[in-house]
A and B are shown apart, each in its own frame.
Chain A
Amino acid sequence: MPRSSRIALCASLSLAALVAGCAASAQAPTRRVLRWGGDAEGGAPFVEADPADPSKVRGFDVEVAGMIAKGLGAEPQFVQVAWASIPQSAERGDFDLGMSGIEDSPELRARAALTIPYYEFREVLAVRPGDTDRYKHLSDLAGHRVATLGSTQAYQILLAAQAKSGVIPISYDDDVHPYADLVAGRVDAVLLDNIIAERSLRRSGGFVIQDEPVAIGHYVAVLAKRNGALRDSVNDVLRARMRDGSLEKTFRAWNVWSDAEAQYFARALAAAHDTTTVAAPEQPDRSVMSYVPSLIRAAAITLVLSFVAMGLAVVTGGCIAAGRVYGGPIVRGLFTAYVEVVRGTPVLLQLFVLYYGLSSVIRLPAFLAAVLGLGLNYAAYESEIYRSALEAIPRSQLEAARTLGLSELQIFRLVRAPQALRLALAPMTNDFVALLKDSSLVSVITVVELTKQTAIYATNIGSWVVPGILCAAIYLAFSLPLTRVARGLEAKWSHV
């Protein structure tokens, strides 16, 4: 290890060591700590909670991180981070080293310090058994839905294929449901890392993996750009572990070793120059303007989704409120139970149940499931607003209407509801603005709306500043006119 990098290492580890030292209190002598970030939600064989002791993690990334720490003379300490945020979290200094099947890419290399790849994977296509001969390559899937994990190299490949051959990319927030939806027929193929594909095949099956890879990719560890010296030390450790067979042993133990991997190791070790010191390749032209069309499309989805869901919420909420005000004890009890259950559980859970949980009974398209999930959730809140508004209309008004010979239905339609609506307007507007923002939750069921698109954009360029401002501006452009209209109506209806 060169002297300069040793100093840098000491510097970068000292703070972490200090913190860890305080935590370990009396335990002398103080050991240095290498904090490494990963996502245990990614699961085996990368990083998963240890079934024997769920407070610990295990997986090949865990073991590689352990080797690196040991090589640096430090103790590994795991930090849980959402997978898509690992590079940015490293840049922030949340940990020294990020590892969790992080993919090597020119974009990432341009804005972070990446180690040499420690594993070579293949992007493989998974299809239903009946389609084995039909869909061998991406080009065979023109006009078909192909699923993958958002913000990955595979997603970039699909976007390129969309432009070229008309494949329809479907982005997921996790790597389990793409395969479930493939088997269920919601998508026609899945493009993902061979490790993930093989894991899903072992777990649930119901599909086949095409032999010929669509692309080759590499897993790397990511560090903050300023930590180039530490990265060089990590590279030294990785090369040493390739050479002495420790990495091979780990990969074999996790069942992800192959001849291709051995060939890759040989190439990596033979490479005369350090790949990481090569200047980053020219970045493709990705100006702000190039993202605007997709943001506008996503904004339109957010807007349509919010309006349709709110329409459903208003109608359903109105029926529930009317049922609770006018209905008999059974109707009242049922509606009250509905409201309490829906209000008392997270909308995220409801979306999951609607889209994935019910998929064996009824296979809802993603957008419909999103509309139903948000609409039925907000219906519970709307119904409470309408119920209290209906009950706020004085009884004397209803009796006055009765003595005029109006039927109960007419009284509701002509006297009670119009006045209740005026009372409900302000809280309704409030709810609509909330719904507009809650619509971002539906990305968990594969609908790419404004926030998701912004996240994809931000991951791509490695910064949230411009995408964040654009995204906020679009949300405000939706919500501000809405509240204006509502205030105008309120003023018009106040008759002062």
Chain B
Amino acid sequence: MSALTVRALELNRGTRPILRGLDLDVESGEVCAFMGVSGAGKSTLLRAVAALEAISAGKITIGSATLTPGPLPPESKLREVRRQVGFVFQTPSLFEHLSAIENVMLAPIHALRWPADRARDVARRLLESLGVAHRAEAYPRQLSGGEAQRVAIARALAPDPTLLLMDEPTSALDPARRGALGESLRALAGEGRGLLVSTHDAEFAKRFADRVVVLDQGRIVEAGPASVVLTSPSHAATRTLLRGESASPPKL
């Protein structure tokens, strides 16, 4: 079953095309990594799927909800879409005035109208599964970068979305933390969710993604199983990407 279907997606900012005819499927239970140099359109694609930006052409289908071109639909319909999509931003963007567990409980209580007790149970379980239950009462400023990210993931998962979007989740993590994050993502996919993850990190993608999609100048130039795309790339952009990755920090 498809968690996400994108067809012929185009998105222009003013007259400048950012995404130019994208087709993409993310299956439930699958981790799909999409890669590309900065400016390839990765973040824009995620924002379009999360209905944070209006699309210019094409169609996005998430479960039962569909996004079409034109101005963003009215709030009631928008909330329908957004409840099925969880979004973890590149920076954790936690609500500074709420404790970790309150951050996670906010959407269940106010968007889903759950009773507080139920929201608290779910939030605690999520924090436990991500290994940050001991920080439940801490405020965002008291959390380390890795802890804050895991709280942000728990927050995005609280409304039980069918699709989880993550923007550059590894960028602020050390290698050990990247491994732990990867395991968490596999576990989430194991629960039947679709994961769409943007990353620069070929190593990470190779280890934890089922499928890799390479984006270049708003187009998908290569797609396939991670092991194939990242070991024998067929497109120049992918090769540039891989060279850049291996060339940048010389490992001593």
Contacts and interface: CB of A to CB of B under 8 A. Distances in A.
Interface of A: 394, 396-397, 399-408, 410, 414-415, 418-419, 422, 493, 495-496
B86 A396 contact: no
Given A414-B110, A495-B96, A496-B141, 16 more contacts: A394-B93, A397-B95, A399-B93, A400-B89, A400-B94, A400-B155, A403-B156, A404-B111, A404-B158, A405-B107, A406-B110, A410-B111, A415-B95, A418-B97, A419-B96, A495-B142
Interface residues of B, number: 30
Given A419-B97, A422-B97, A493-B97, A404 B155 contact: yes
A1 B106 CA distance: 92
Nearest to A395: B93
Contacts of A394: 93
Interface in B143-188: 152, 155-156, 158-159
Contacts of A408: 75
B82 interface: yes
A395 B140 CA distance: 17
Contacts of A404: 82, 106-107, 111, 155-156, 158-159
A188 B208 CA distance: 88
A397 B93 contact: yes
A400 B110 contact: no
A403 B85 CA distance: 7
Contacts of B141: 495-496
Contacts of A419: 95-97
Contacts of A406: 79, 106-107, 110-111
Interface in B41-91: 50, 52, 75, 79, 82-83, 85-87, 89, 91
Contact of B82 (A405, A414, A496): A405
29 contacts: A396-B89, A397-B93, A397-B96, A399-B52, A399-B87, A399-B93, A400-B93, A400-B94, A400-B155, A404-B106, A404-B107, A404-B155, A404-B156, A405-B111, A405-B112, A405-B159, A406-B79, A406-B111, A407-B79, A407-B111, A408-B75, A410-B111, A414-B110, A415-B106, A419-B95, A419-B97, A495-B96, A495-B140, A495-B142
A404 to B, nearest CB: 4
A72 to B, nearest CB: 75
A403 B86 contact: yes
A414 B79 CA distance: 16
B87 to A, nearest CB: 4
Contact of A405 (B83, B93, B139, B152): B83
B58 to A, nearest CB: 21
A474 to B, nearest CB: 36
Contacts of B112: 405
A25 to B, nearest CB: 70
B47 to A, nearest CB: 8
Nearest to A418: B97
Contacts of A397: 93, 95-96
Interface in B120-152: 139-142, 152
Given A419-B95, A419-B96, A399 B110 contact: no
Nearest to B85: A403
Contacts of A496: 141
B75 A396 contact: no
Interface in B100-116: 106-107, 110-112
B159 to A, nearest CB: 6
Contacts of B106: 401, 404, 406, 414-415
B164 to A, nearest CB: 11
B183 to A, nearest CB: 24
A301 B95 CA distance: 41
Contacts of A407: 75, 79, 111
Contacts of B79: 405-407
Nearest to A406: B111
A81 to B, nearest CB: 55
A414 B152 CA distance: 17
A396 B91 contact: yes
A282 B158 CA distance: 83
Contacts of B140: 495
A396 B152 CA distance: 12
B111 A495 contact: no
Nearest to B159: A405
Contacts of A415: 95, 106
A402 B86 CA distance: 10
Kindly name the residue among B79, B96, B158 whose own CB sees the greatest number of chain A CB atoms within 10 A.
B96
Contacts of B110: 406, 410, 414
A402 B82 CA distance: 8
Contacts of A401: 95, 106
A416 to B, nearest CB: 10
